[in-house]
Structure 1
Amino acid sequence: MAFVRFGGRKVGVPGSPRMRKVTGVVLIGGGVLGFLPILGFWMIPLGVVVLSVDSHRVRRVRRRTEVWWGRRRRP
């Protein structure tokens, strides 16, 4: 099983690269429909984190966002 470190926590993701890509795309797609009762906008960042395991472009965006958020929260 692969792991992703995000926000100081270690999160497990599916082991197969194909399954990780499918899971990430489904989470982002569900997040776009976040106005529906069961789905939510929280699914978009989670899908990006799952996709960042395999995609260099998504990993770069996630890392920049994480650094920006860390600088913004620092007083």
Structure 2
Amino acid sequence: MKQDKPARRDFIRLRGNSIEVFGRSIKLPSSRPARVAVGVAFVIGGIFSFLPVLGLWMLPVGILILSIDFVMVRRWRRRASVKWGRRQRRA
């Protein structure tokens, strides 16, 4: 019997100018300044997580959006992704 590949459990994934969250695709603006503004807004919203609608969930989404345009943020995201993958394989 042939073993099937286990399903990937990526909750958030980048696909070009869109983010796929739990299987739903969200389009991002095509212009760089607009993407940076949206990413910064999400990071600032994550800082104010004590407010009812805003929460810590906004911080990683903002960093993910900023990683499209900034190399340094992209490196942080990739390192975190690699560490998370290694941790999941061990468990």
TM-score, with structure 2 as normaliser: 0.71
2:39 aligned with 1:20: no
Structure with the greater alpha carbon radius of gyration: 2
Q: 1:53 to 1:4 in 2, by over 3 A?
A: farther
Gaps of 5+ in 1: none
Higher helix share: 1
| Distance of 1:11 and 1:70 partners within structure 2 | 24
Q: 1:54 to 1:67 in 2, by over 3 A?
A: same
Q: Which runs of 4+ in 1 moved over 3 A?
A: 3-6, 9-12
Gaps of 5+ in 2: 1-15
Corresponding residue for residue 68 of structure 1: 83
| Distance of 1:70 and 1:4 partners within structure 2 | 19
TM-score, with structure 1 as normaliser: 0.85
Q: 2:47 aligns with which of 21, 32, 35?
A: 32
The size of the alignment, in residue pairs, is: 75
Cα displacement (A) at 1:36: 1.1
